[in-house]
Structure 1
Amino acid sequence: MLVLIHKECGGPALDESPVGEVCAIPVSQFPFTCFTCLEDILDESEVRLTEDLGI
């Protein structure tokens, strides 16, 4: 499962989709609110993509 992580709080930046993956966010979608800490994410430098293997 791919997850966008907010670098500042370390939590998921988006809620999981029904298929268990978070889709890429087009640059036009910034800013958006972090799902975990509710801070505004202004650009892609504030998030990182990680893969959760669910093990």
Structure 2
Amino acid sequence: MKKLLFWTTVLSGTAAAYLLYKRGVPVGTIASDVLTHPIGTLVHELGAGGAAR
């Protein structure tokens, strides 16, 4: 179960970082968002379409 949670977190952080990078968000902002809340950042990017930034 711990491995599943770990890999889910890693994959969601990677996906969120990719979506943010594709939109042109600065790398420092991507790093701070994804490292602090990887799953929340992905949910925000998918749910809001990334329009809030």
Normalising by the residue count of structure 1, what TM-score does the alignment of the two structures yield? 0.24
Normalising by the residue count of structure 2, what TM-score does the alignment of the two structures yield? 0.24
More helix by share: 2
More strand by share: 1
